[in-house]
Amino acid sequence: MDEDALEYHRTAPPGKIEISTTKPTNTQRDLSFAYSPGVAAPCREIDADAGEAYQYTTKGNLVGVVSNGSAVLGLGDIGAQASKPVMEGKGVLFKRFADIDVFDIELDLDDPDAFVDSVAAMEPTFGGINLEDIAAPDCFTIEEQLRERLSIPVFHDDQHGTAIISGAALLNAVEISGKDLADLEVTFAGAGAAALATARFYVSLGVKRENITMCDIDGILTTQRAESGDLNEYNREFARDLPEGDLADAMEGADVFVGLSAGGIVSQEMVRSMAADPIIFAMANPDPEIGYEAAKDARDDTVIMATGRSDYPNQVNNVLGFPFIFRGALDVRATEINEEMKVAAASALADLAKQDVPDSVVKAYGDQPLQFGPDYIIPKPLDARVLFEVAPAVARAAIDSGAARVDIDIDEYVERLEARLGKSREMMRVVLNKAKSDPKRIALAEGTDETIVRAASQIVERGIAEPVLIGDEDDIRGTIANLGLEFEPDVVDPESGDYEGYADHLYERRKRNGVTRREAASMIRDDTNYFGSVMVDRGDADALLTGLTNHYPSALRPPLQVVGTADDADYAAGVYMLTFKNSVIFVADATVNQAPDEDVLEEVTRHTAELARRFDVEPRAALLSYSDFGSVDNEGTRKPREAARRLREDPAVDFPVDGEMQADTAVVEEMLTGTYDFTDLEKPANVLVFPNLEAGNIGYKLLQRLGGADAIGPMLVGMDEPVHVLQRGDEVKDIVNLAAVATVDAQDEAY
């Protein structure tokens, strides 16, 4: 492990972070803006109004991670220089989870006053200060003085991070155990910075101060010890008028144990002495005060257990807090991180743990079950939703409490946060907002599948559509109950209702294709794909999603046979939207037409351009080949060339289109405006129409896997009613996204 870690850090370039430019620096003009003489303009603006630094510099997204290395977790007082890898690592977490930039500052200063003066002098540089690994009691003094002197947030994560995350766990543990915060008897092992901050925070959440018993290495913190001078000015606030005693005495009858001390100091007997259904947060690292299995096995009732370790359920990990708390604070230009903001963060985390967990998170943690209950009371660090829940909650609390310099619209803020995590989220937000403006009735053909049920729950929760689950009603209701979901979907059971009209409809559609009336009735009863297709074709639902548990061609066949293509379409096609960091392209056809001729290519281009506009993207289409504008002339290159000619000459086509052309020609602006300056494309194409199914399917997968693109789809175009065929293995988010696309399709009066 050590050698691997050393190799990780020393591999060129050494360390874990770097500075990169965010503006172009390719020309002399660019450089004149970046530095002299152009840089004088923002300097003058900031000189006139210091607040303009947030507008013209990185201040609003820059945090200083500051330490003197006097109390590094697991290493102790190793000094400023040796602590640098830890501070760089903290910067990595800020960037990875909340897109916040960091300068790590290691100060070789033991004097608290000198430390405070040095940090205070750097206030113009940063939007916030994260204090890290500073020994108690100096950490209290340093944070207090900096909070008084600075008008930007100052946050000692070692104190408040643990408090907030364990506070979120406490809120949910109390709910599960049926207890009340005000009635809890809480015992702390440890009386250092983290323990004191956590105890204070629990009081903010509703725990009574007089119900907190705190122990240090010498036993219970009592008023007698305080009066004798045995306690410092900080931990004496939790001294109680109790008899002298040790940790075992303090734990007897306690509802909650909070360990922030040393490993192995709690026995099973001590756990058995606690009140019914105890809550145990054993957070010493790397070894907890009592092991997870030992605590669970000590009693027959419910023990809700959390530790600081990732190999057990309910890890209290500070990365669930500080990146998102600072994100919310920075984005409203907060002057501080106050108690209201901390409580808001804990409450948001607690609420998130009650929501359905995305498949991507479940997979990241080895497919272990993650469902609200004793073994899942706080979210996992890799759950991207933490950003969208905690940061807005903190921002709102800052505004409401008067700590914010600027007011923001929280709904718009969530959209900006999503854009930080990738173009795909930004693009889907456009469609999701459109869907929510007028939700439609979406038939889900595989209604008994657990993933479909979970997706339906999210569709309802987010107001995207009105899902109709098709399948055995008892199975569907049972799945909802087993998953602990709280929603009442519309369920249609083909075997329990009178659907003779559906059988008649299918028979009329397929009687000249060898389907008898009896066979039609059997297909309606036994095949939910046919049932859903008829439901949409009759107008009993506005759109259909199917295919999660079927091979794509098998799932596509019933909708094609029943719903068919639109009046102005002869062909359907499968389109993927591929999103990159700063761009988006639509790729067709990737799923349906194996060897399209010029008629198919022309029509697919039209439909794909229409789809792009549903995402508020103005289409620029290129029909691809291995030839550029006739450089190779054969049957294969003539098809896209002819399709492009027809489109260019059609006055009804109101978007630029050209071809045939090679893929690099289509996406490299210098080639379009230089070598091929005659083309109708003045900018790189964002609609790429491939010459056949093999090329389209291979192309989108290469772009996804090697180009780092996020893929959304396949989205079916050209159908008479909105129908989309899922792919086997799609996750809940994929289904929700396609439900939104289907809803927007259904809103279009052209359907």
Active site residues: 35, 90
State the residue for tokens 């792919």.
Answer: 727
In 3D, which of 502, 160, 476, 469 has the Cα closest to residue 338? Answer: 160
**H or E stretch at 689:** strand 687-689
CA atoms within 13 A on the CB side of 673: 7
Residue in 545, 172, 118, 155 with CA at minimum distance from that of residue 347: 172
Specify the pairing of strand 584-588 against strand 573-579.
antiparallel
Comparing CA positions, the residue from 128, 134, 205, 218 lying closest to residue 170 is 205
Q: Where are the extended beta strands (E) located within 217-310? A: 219-220, 256-259, 279-282, 304-307
User: How wide is the angle at C-alpha 596 spanned by C-alphas 594 and 599, nearest 5°?
Assistant: 155
Q: Following DSSP, what letter does each residue of 534-560 receive, concatenated?
A: HHHHTTSSSEEEE-TTS-HHHHHHHHH
Closest to 371 (Cα-Cα) out of 484, 270, 276, 472: 484
In degrees rounded to 5, what are phi and psi of residue 597? -95, -170
Rounded-to-integer distance, Cα 255 and Cα 263, Å: 20
What's the CA gap between 380 and 394, in Å, rounded? Answer: 19
Looking at the DSSP bridge assignments, the partners of residue 189 are 215, 259
The two tokens of residue 327 are 């994100």
Closest by CA position to 96, among listed 319, 333, 314: 319
Instruction: Give the integer Cα–Cα distance in Å for 519 and 562.
Output: 15
> Three-state SS for 73?
coil
**Vertex 512: Cα angle to 511 and 517 (nearest 5):** 15
CA–CA gap between residue 272 and residue 270 (Å, rounded): 5
List C-alpha distances in Å: 339 to 342, 450, 510, 564. Answer: 5, 40, 67, 59
Q: What secondary structure, in 3-state letters, does 460-491 show? A: HHCCCEEEEEECCHHHHHHHHHHCCCCCCCEE
| CA nearest neighbour of 141 among 108, 165, 114 | 114
How far apart, in whole angstroms, are the C-alpha atoms of residue 320 and residue 251?
28
User: CA 177, CA 679: separation in Å to the nearest integer?
Assistant: 69
